[in-house]
C-alpha cells in the first residue's frame, strides 16, 4: 500500500501550506537562530555550532533541543517536495552540513552530550532523549532524501542508526534499554522504507518489544545512576512513559500523551509490516480507549498538565485541560497508520477531527504564534491568577522554551498530501480518507495511468467532485474500486453519490462508499455530503460537560468568544436548536461561516458586585449568540472562549 504523487489543489489548505512555506518556515529558522525578538531563544543552531567546534559556549535549551532543527528540516523537505525553492534548499543544505560537522567519528550526534556531558552518553535513557532526537534526525533525513534526492542527511542518520543498532539489543554486551520518549520507533520504520534495510525495522521492533519488560531497564538505570535524576531523584514513573507493561498488555492510554501516541504509531506500523496480530489487537484496544473514552471533541488528548498526561476514562475537564498540539499531531500520525493497517472510516474521522480543530487551532492566522495547550474553555483572568490554570494561555505565544509544537505543526501541514488517499495496487482500490482538493496520479491494476482530481468545498460545504482522466492508451476504460469515506459528522442523511450526473446506489464497507466500476476518461463523480449545524451532547460520564452542548458543523467544532458575545460566557445558555442559522462572514477572520442562535443570558444586573449568594430568582434575557469555528479562536483580543455551552 503506497500513497503516490498527490498534489494539494485546494484554496483552504493551500493558504496553510503557503503560510508554512512563506511564514512558518522562515520564522522558525529565525527562531532556531535566536533572532526572534521577544521570544525565548532556541539555541538550536548555536548548540550545533558549538558541538561542531565552530563556536565556543555553553549548551542552551532543553536536552532535546536538537529535535527542533530536525523537525524544521523535515518540514522544509515536505515544502521542497511540493515546490522547489533553491534558496531555502541552500539554507537547509548548510544546516545539514552543520549537523554533519557535529557528528562524531562513531556516528553519534547529540549536541547536549557532546557539549555538556561527554562521556555520559546513554546513561540516562529515561530522561535524556538521545534516542528521541535520533528519531527526529532520521525522520528529517528520510524526508529530505525523498524530496531532494540528496543523501547527505540520510547518510548521517544511517551512521547514527547503525551505531544505535550496535549498542542496543538483546545480545550480551548490548544495552537492553529503550527511550524515555518514544519517537525513534516510528522513525526507524521510515528509515527501513527509505533504505530497504531490514535491520532498521528489526531495531524498531526491538524497542517496542523490549519496552515494559521486567526487571525494568529504567529502574535499573536509576539504580546505576545512584538513584538520581536531573529533574527528580524519584524512582522512575513507568506508567508516565508507557513502560509499566509490555506494550501488548497495555489496554488503556496512560501517561504522557505525546509519548503514548508516538509509540502507538510505531506499533501500528509494526503490526502491519510484521503481520503481528497481537500488536494489532493492542493498537485497536488502545485506539478505542483513546478516542472513545479520553478524547476531547476537538481531537485533543491529555487531560492534565501534571505530566502532560492522560488521566482516566471520561475525565475531560475543559479549563484545566492539556490537549497538547503535539499530542493531536501524534494522534493524526497514529490514525494514518491505523488506516494503513485496516481502512476503516473511523480512523480517518478522528484524523480529520484532530486536524480541523485542535491542530489548525494551535496556530495563529499569521503563522507566528502557537498554542502548546489547546483549551476548550478560557477565562483569561483565571489563566493569569489561578495557578491551577496557568498552563493554559488565552493567546498564542511567539515561541516556547520547549518548542516542540510549532515545528510539528509545520511538518504536518506541509506533508498533508500524504494523508488524503491510500492506493492499494494489490486490491486495485483507492481510498479517499480526506476531502481535500488535490490531484492524485496512480497506475491501476491493468497498467492504466489514472489522474484523479478532487475538488472539495469543505470545510464550509459538503460538496466534493472527482474528475477521472485516463491516459490515451486506455480508451476502453480501466477498472478500480473508489472508496469514499462517509464522515461521521452526525448529519441526518447519507451522502448522495452521482456519477456523470446519475444518482448511484452504493455499498458501504467499513465506513466507505465502495464504487466498483470500469472508469472512463472524463468520468465525473459527485459526492454530496449533508453538512448541517448540529448540537452535540457528550456522554453523561463526562462530568465536565453535563447539561452542555457543543456546536459542530461538518468537521468543524465551533466555540463562542468574548469578542462576539461579550464577557461572562458562562451566563449564556442555548435554547432552541431550530433557531440556529449559518451566516457567511467573509470579512471575519479571513472569511468563515459563523453560527448564530437564540440563547438565554442570566441577568447580571440583578446582582450587586458584593453579593455572592442569594435565593434563586432567575430572569434570563433572551439574546442572540454567535459562534465561530474553534480553529479560528484567539485571533482577536484576549478574552473568554468556550466550546461547551449550557443548554436550557
Q: Residue 163 interacts with a copy of itself (CB under 8 A)?
A: no
Q: Do 477 and 520 meet the contact criterion of CB atoms below 8 Å apart?
A: yes
Least distance (Å) from a copy of itself to the CB of residue 126? 19
Least distance (Å) from a copy of itself to the CB of residue 266? 24
Catalytic residue ranges: 308, 404
Q: Taking contact as CB under 8 A, which single stretch among the options 174-182, 192-200, 420-428, 615-623 is the one that binds a copy of itself?
A: 615-623
Q: Residue 502 interacts with a copy of itself (CB under 8 A)?
A: no
Element (H, E) at 593: strand 592-601
Q: Residue 615 interacts with a copy of itself (CB under 8 A)?
A: yes
State the cell numbers at 466.
Answer: 472527482
Least distance (Å) from a copy of itself to the CB of residue 574? 10
Torsion over CA of 222, 228, 231 and 234, rounded to 10 degrees? 70
User: How far apart, in whole angstroms, are the C-alpha atoms of residue 356 and residue 354?
Assistant: 6
State the cell numbers at 131.
Answer: 534516542
Site for a copy of itself in 175-204 (CB under 8 A): none
Least distance (Å) from a copy of itself to the CB of residue 143? 34
Nearer to a copy of itself, 174 or 539 (CB): 539
* CA distances, 256 to each of 163, 212, 326, 584 (Å): 28, 15, 11, 40
Nearer to a copy of itself, 315 or 510 (CB): 315
Half-sphere exposure (Cβ direction) of 534: Cα atoms closer than 13 Å: 17
Q: Residue 630 interacts with a copy of itself (CB under 8 A)?
A: no
Nearer to a copy of itself, 535 or 585 (CB): 535
Residue 16: which of 372, 373, 419 has the closest Cα? 419
Nearer to a copy of itself, 438 or 573 (CB): 573
State the cell numbers at 87.
Answer: 534558496
Helices (H), 394-466: 405-413
State the cell numbers at 44.
Answer: 538550536
Query: Binding residues for a copy of itself, how many (CB under 8 A)?
Result: 60
Neighbours of 60 (CB within 10 A): 19
State the cell numbers at 63.
Answer: 536536552
User: How far apart, in whole angstroms, are the C-alpha atoms of residue 8 and residue 440?
Assistant: 9
State the cell numbers at 300.
Answer: 485533543
Q: Taking contact as CB under 8 A, which single stretch among the options 92-100, 169-177, 212-220, 640-648 is the one that binds a copy of itself?
A: 640-648
Mask for 375-414, x = binds a copy of itself (CB under 8 A): ----x-xx--xxxx--------------------------
Site for a copy of itself in 533-572 (CB under 8 A): 534-543, 546-547, 549-550, 568, 570-571
Nearer to a copy of itself, 127 or 308 (CB): 308
End-to-end CA distance of the chain: 49
User: How far apart, in whole angstroms, are the C-alpha atoms of residue 255 and residue 263?
Assistant: 12
∠ CA 401-404-406, rounded to 5°? 95
Least distance (Å) from a copy of itself to the CB of residue 541? 7
Mask for 582-601, x = binds a copy of itself (CB under 8 A): --------------------
- 470 contacts: CB under 8 Å, gap ≥ 6: 448, 449, 450, 451, 477, 478, 519, 520, 521
Least distance (Å) from a copy of itself to the CB of residue 301? 12
Among 86, 472, 617, 622, binds a copy of itself (CB under 8 A): 617
Helices (H), 211-276: 217-224, 257-273
Least distance (Å) from a copy of itself to the CB of residue 55? 31
State the cell numbers at 36.
Answer: 526572534
Q: Residue 293 interacts with a copy of itself (CB under 8 A)?
A: yes
According to DSSP, the residues that pair with 455 across neighbouring strands are: 465
Nearer to a copy of itself, 13 or 347 (CB): 347
Nearer to a copy of itself, 500 or 603 (CB): 603
Site for a copy of itself in 460-499 (CB under 8 A): 490
SS3 of residue 150 by DSSP:
coil
Rg (CA), the chain: 25
Among 37, 56, 171, 611, binds a copy of itself (CB under 8 A): 611
Element (H, E) at 503: strand 502-504
Site for a copy of itself in 298-327 (CB under 8 A): 303-307, 309, 311-312, 315, 317, 320
Q: Residue 618 interacts with a copy of itself (CB under 8 A)?
A: yes
∠ CA 285-287-293, rounded to 5°? 95
Least distance (Å) from a copy of itself to the CB of residue 539? 5
Least distance (Å) from a copy of itself to the CB of residue 303? 7
Q: Residue 235 interacts with a copy of itself (CB under 8 A)?
A: no
Nearer to a copy of itself, 475 or 609 (CB): 609
Residues at the contact surface with a copy of itself, assessed by CB under 8 A: 288, 291-293, 295, 297, 303-307, 309, 311-312, 315, 317, 320, 379, 381-382, 385-388, 490, 534-543, 546-547, 549-550, 568, 570-571, 573, 577, 602, 604, 607, 609-618, 646-648
Amino acid at each position: 500500500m503506497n500513497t503516490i504523487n498527490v498534489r494539494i489543489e485546494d484554496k483552504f489548505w493551500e493558504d496553510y501550506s503557503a503560510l508554512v512555506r512563506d511564514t512558518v518556515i522562515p520564522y522558525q529558522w529565525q527562531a532556531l537562530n535566536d533572532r526572534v525578538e521577544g521570544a525565548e531563544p532556541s539555541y538550536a543552531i548555536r548548540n550545533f555550532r558549538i558541538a561542531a567546534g565552530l563556536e565556543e559556549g555553553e549548551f542552551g535549551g532543553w536536552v532535546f533541543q536538537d529535535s527542533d532543527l530536525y523537525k524544521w528540516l523535515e518540514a522544509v523537505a515536505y515544502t521542497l517536495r511540493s515546490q522547489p525553492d533553491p534558496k531555502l534548499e541552500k539554507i537547509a543544505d548548510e544546516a545539514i552540513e552543520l549537523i554533519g560537522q557535529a557528528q562524531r567519528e562513531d556516528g553519534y550526534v547529540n549536541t547536549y552530550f557532546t557539549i555538556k556531558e561527554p562521556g555520559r552518553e546513554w546513561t540516562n535513557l529515561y530522561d535524556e532523549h538521545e534516542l528521541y532526537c535520533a528519531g527526529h534526525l532520521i525522520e528529517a533525513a528520510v524526508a529530505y532524501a525523498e524530496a531532494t534526492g540528496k543523501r547527505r542527511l540520510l547518510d548521517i542518520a544511517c551512521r547514527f542508526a547503525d551505531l544505535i543498532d550496535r549498542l542496543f539489543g538483546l545480545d550480551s554486551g548490548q544495552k537492553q534499554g529503550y527511550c524515555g520518549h518514544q519517537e525513534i520507533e516510528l522513525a526507524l520504520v521510515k528509515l527501513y522504507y527509505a533504505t530497504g534495510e531490514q535491520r532498521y525495522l528489526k531495531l524498531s521492533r526491538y524497542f517496542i518489544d523490549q519496552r515494559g519488560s521486567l526487571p525494568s531497564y529504567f529502574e535499573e538505570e536509576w539504580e546505576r545512576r545512584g538513584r538520581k535524576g536531573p529533574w527528580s531523584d524519584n524512582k522512575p514513573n513507568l506508567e508516565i512513559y508507557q513502560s509499566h507493561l509490555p506494550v501488548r498488555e497495555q489496554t488503556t492510554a496512560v501517561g504522557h500523551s505525546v509519548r503514548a501516541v508516538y509509540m502507538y504509531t510505531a506499533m501500528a506500523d509494526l503490526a502491519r509490516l510484521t503481520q503481528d496480530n497481537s500488536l494489532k489487537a493492542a493498537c485497536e484496544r488502545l485506539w478505542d480507549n483513546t478516542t472513545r473514552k479520553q478524547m476531547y471533541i476537538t481531537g485533543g488528548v491529555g487531560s492534565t498538565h501534571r505530566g502532560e498526561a492522560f488521566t482516566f476514562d471520561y475525565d475531560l475537564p475543559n479549563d484545566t485541560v492539556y490537549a497538547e498540539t503535539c499530542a493531536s499531531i501524534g494522534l493524526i500520525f497514529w490514525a494514518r497508520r491505523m488506516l494503513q493497517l485496516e481502512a476503516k472510516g473511523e480512523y480517518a474521522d478522528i484524523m480529520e477531527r484532530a486536524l480541523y480543530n485542535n491542530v489548525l487551532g494551535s496556530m495563529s492566522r499569521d503563522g507566528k504564534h502557537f498554542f502548546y495547550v489547546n483549551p476548550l474553555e478560557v477565562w483569561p483572568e483565571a489563566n493569569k491568577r489561578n495557578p491551577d490554570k496557568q498552563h493554559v494561555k488565552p493567546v498564542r505565544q511567539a515561541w516556547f522554551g520547549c518548542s516542540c509544537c510549532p515545528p510539528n505543526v509545520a511538518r504536518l501541514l506541509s506533508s498533508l498530501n500524504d494523508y488524503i488517499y491510500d492506493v492499494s495496487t494489490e486490491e486495485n482500490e483507492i481510498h479517499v480518507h480526506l476531502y481535500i482538493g488535490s490531484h492524485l496520479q496512480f497506475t491501476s491494476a491493468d497498467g492504466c495511468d489514472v489522474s484523479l482530481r478532487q475538488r472539495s468545498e469543505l470545510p464550509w460545504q459538503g460538496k466534493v467532485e472527482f474528475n477521472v482522466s485516463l491516459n490515451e492508451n486506455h480508451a476502453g476504460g480501466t477498472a478500480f474500486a473508489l472508496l469514499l469515506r462517509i464522515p461521521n459528522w452526525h448529519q441526518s442523511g447519507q451522502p448522495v453519490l452521482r456519477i456523470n450526473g446519475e444518482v448511484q446506489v452504493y455499498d458501504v464497507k467499513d465506513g466507505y462508499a465502495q464504487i466498483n466500476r470500469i472508469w472512463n476518461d472524463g468520468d465525473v463523480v459527485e459526492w454530496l455530503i449533508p453538512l448541517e449545524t448540529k448540537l452535540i451532547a457528550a456522554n453523561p460520564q463526562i462530568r465536565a460537560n453535563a447539561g452542555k452542548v457543543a456546536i459542530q458543523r461538518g468537521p468543524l467544532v465551533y466555540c463562542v468568544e468574548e469578542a462576539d458575545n461579550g464577557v461572562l460566557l458562562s451566563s449564556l445558555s442555548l435554547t432552541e436548536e431550530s433557531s440556529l442559522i449559518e451566516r457567511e462572514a467573509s470579512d471575519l477572520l479571513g472569511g468563515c461561516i459563523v453560527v448564530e442562535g437564540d440563547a438565554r443570558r442570566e441577568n447580571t444586573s440583578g446582582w450587586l458586585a458584593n453579593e455572592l449568594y442569594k435565593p434563586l430568582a432567575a430572569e434570563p434575557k433572551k439574546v442572540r449568540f454567535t459562534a465561530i469555528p474553534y480553529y479560528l479562536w484567539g485571533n482577536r483580543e484576549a478574552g473568554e472562549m468556550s466550546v461547551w455551552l449550557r443548554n436550557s
